[in-house]
């Protein structure tokens, strides 16, 4: 049994995956059945001139971050106050309620509110949300193994406002709700230059793109892409997850799952507890810092990480084919997330897959890290909504 080979993708497979990806985007855009939700954000890209002081809330997959950010216009911003808190696992399981979760979030926000003046708040909420306007929305389904109950049908920013009010913070007004991929794209367009895509490669994985025709950023929820060559370990992981048959790409590419995939594939009695191994372990193994694993297990860790990054690159090729068939223009891909930033081999594999696919034309694609894009993007969204 050659476990390593199960995680290797050929260039032909990568090509097929990207074609499948753009085909599914076309189906989604045409309102046909698709694995992509293609969620409207009701936001366009930033001008770079947005200014004022805003509260930025980043509700991610692992942490909650709140900042007080001053947008200075001229593409510059200053973080005046900042705080981060790890989301306790007791609040993400089904015995916890949405009210308890948002009470925790409101308490984090409270730490950066400087006075009684009115502050508009932009809320980056990193899960699929149904929106009919930019100011609020309803959770479609949890991802990243969250299972908090009592969210069904409830407006997310309204829940946050209620909890803020209980803390006496009626002066903090949640005016915008957006996905982290949308926030990353907004942040890139505010501070740097036009970007075609905003993407997260962290605990979760997803990509948003700017749709010229609608003049709007669209959240693909690309983690749910499902035309993928899955192996027996992917299937075991999916069956054991809290969201079976969903989020196939995310389960092969995102930080929440890579350590678990490795644990399932090495099948060792001393690592029998689910989610016992995380991405930090994989990172240590690849850097030769963890001596508990033999050579073939180390090779496997490398193959899992490279496959993850190759799949993400294939998805970017799919988006580029959809927005600009034949690559006529230049494109920016703004990425945030710990995998892209820190995991050995991840970023370089994305770059090399794009280079191999586009050849000389890959010079037209600028892939860059947009660190803390969700925070800046939240502030920019609040400013745009005004
Ligand atoms: C969520 C997306 C989010 C991504 C990155 C996924 O699990 O479904 O909405 O953008 O994680 O945080």
Give the residue among 55, 48, 115, 102 at the shortest CA–CA distance from 75: 48
Pocket test for ligand 1, best of 92, 206, 241 (most atoms within 8 A of CB): 206
221-232 pLDDT, tens digit per residue, is: 999 999 999 999
Cβ of 250 closer than 6 Å to ligand 1, yes or no, is yes
Extract the tokens encoding 239. Answer: 């069956």
Pocket test for ligand 1, best of 147, 179, 339 (most atoms within 8 A of CB): 179
Amino acid 261: pLDDT: 97
Cβ of 145 closer than 6 Å to ligand 1, yes or no, is no
Contacts of 368 (CB under 8 A, 6+ apart): 188, 192, 332, 333, 334, 335
Mean pLDDT of 22-45: 96
Cβ of 198 closer than 6 Å to ligand 1, yes or no, is no
- With cut-offs at 50, 70 and 90, classify the pLDDT of residue 192: confident
The whole-angstrom separation of Cα 267 and Cα 270 is 9
287-341 pLDDT, tens digit per residue, is: 999 999 999 999 999 999 999 999 999 999 999 999 999 999 999 999 999 999 9
The whole-angstrom separation of Cα 134 and Cα 156 is 12
Residue entry with tokens 């939700």: 37
In Å, how far are 138, 207, 278, 358 from 249, measured between CA atoms? 23, 11, 18, 22
The whole-angstrom separation of Cα 43 and Cα 386 is 12
Cβ of 223 closer than 6 Å to ligand 1, yes or no, is yes
The whole-angstrom separation of Cα 260 and Cα 263 is 5
Q: Left if phi > 0, otherwise alpha if psi is -120 to 50, otherwise beta: which for 333?
A: beta
Contacts of 266 (CB under 8 A, 6+ apart): 3, 293, 297, 300
Q: Left if phi > 0, otherwise alpha if psi is -120 to 50, otherwise beta: which for 120?
A: beta
Amino acid 1: pLDDT: 55
CB 45 within 8 A of CB 223: no
Mean pLDDT of 136-142: 96
Mean pLDDT of 44-53: 96
- For ligand 1, the distance from its centroid to the CA atom of residue 292, given in whole angstroms, is 32
148-191 pLDDT, tens digit per residue, is: 999 989 999 999 999 999 999 999 999 999 999 999 999 999 98
Say how many residues make up the chain: 386
Extract the tokens encoding 76. Answer: 């510059």
Nearest residue (CA) to ligand 1, atom 9: 127
CB 128 within 8 A of CB 143: yes
62-109 pLDDT, tens digit per residue, is: 899 999 999 999 999 999 999 999 999 999 999 999 999 999 999 999
Amino acid 3: pLDDT: 82
The whole-angstrom separation of Cα 350 and Cα 348 is 5
- For ligand 1, the distance from its centroid to the CA atom of residue 84, given in whole angstroms, is 19
247-290 pLDDT, tens digit per residue, is: 999 999 999 999 999 999 999 999 999 999 999 999 999 999 99
Extract the tokens encoding 310. Answer: 């190759």
Helix (H) or strand (E) holding 136: strand 136-139
Cβ of 191 closer than 6 Å to ligand 1, yes or no, is no
Percent of the chain having pLDDT more than 70? 99
- For ligand 1, the distance from its centroid to the CA atom of residue 157, given in whole angstroms, is 18
CB 126 within 8 A of CB 374: yes
Packed helices 295-323 and 279-286: angle between N→C axes, nearest 10 degrees = 110
The whole-angstrom separation of Cα 248 and Cα 243 is 10
Asked if pLDDT for residue 2 goes beyond 90, the answer is no
pTM over 0.95: yes
Nearest residue (CA) to ligand 1, atom 8: 127
- With cut-offs at 50, 70 and 90, classify the pLDDT of residue 386: confident
């Amino acid at each position: 049994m050659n476990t390593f080979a199960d995680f290797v993708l050929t260039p032909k497979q990568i090509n097929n995956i990207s074609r499948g990806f753009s085909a599914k985007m076309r189906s989604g855009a045409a309102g046909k059945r698709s694995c992509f939700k293609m969620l409207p954000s009701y936001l366009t890209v930033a001008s770079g001139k947005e200014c004022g002081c805003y509260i930025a809330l980043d509700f991610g997959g692992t942490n909650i971050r709140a900042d007080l950010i001053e947008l200075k216009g001229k593409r510059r911003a200053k973080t005046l106050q900042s705080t981060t808190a790890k989301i306790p696992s007791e609040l993400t399981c089904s015995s916890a309620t949405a009210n308890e979760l948002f009470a925790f979030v409101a308490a984090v926000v409270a730490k950066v509110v400087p006075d009684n003046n009115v502050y508009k708040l932009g809320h980056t909420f990193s899960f699929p949300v149904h929106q009919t306007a930019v100011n609020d929305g309803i959770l479609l389904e949890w991802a990243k193994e969250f299972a908090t109950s009592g969210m069904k049908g409830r407006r997310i920013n309204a829940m946050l406002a209620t909890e803020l009010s209980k803390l006496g913070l009626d002066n903090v007004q949640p005016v915008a709700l957006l996905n982290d991929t949308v926030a990353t794209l907004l942040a890139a367009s505010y501070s740097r230059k036009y970007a075609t895509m905003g993407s997260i490669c962290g605990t979760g994985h997803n990509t948003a793109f700017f749709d010229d025709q609608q003049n709007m950023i669209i959240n693909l929820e690309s983690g749910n892409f499902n035309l993928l060559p899955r192996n027996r370990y992917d299937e075991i992981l999916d069956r054991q997850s809290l969201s079976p048959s969903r989020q196939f790409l995310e389960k092969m590419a995102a930080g929440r799952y890579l350590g678990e995939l490795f644990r399932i594939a090495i099948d060792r009695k001393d690592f029998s507890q689910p989610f016992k191994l995380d991405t930090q372990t994989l990172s240590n193994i690849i850097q030769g810092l963890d001596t508990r694993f033999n050579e073939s297990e180390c090779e496997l860790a490398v193959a899992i990480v490279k496959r993850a990054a190759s799949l993400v690159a294939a998805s970017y090729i799919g988006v580029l084919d959809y927005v600009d068939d034949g690559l006529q223009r230049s494109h920016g891909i703004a990425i945030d997330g710990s995998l892209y930033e820190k995991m050995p081999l991840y970023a370089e594999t994305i770059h090399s897959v794009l280079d191999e696919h586009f050849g000389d034309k890959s010079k037209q694609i600028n892939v860059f890290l947009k660190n803390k894009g969700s925070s800046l993007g939240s502030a920019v969204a609040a400013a745009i909504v005004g």
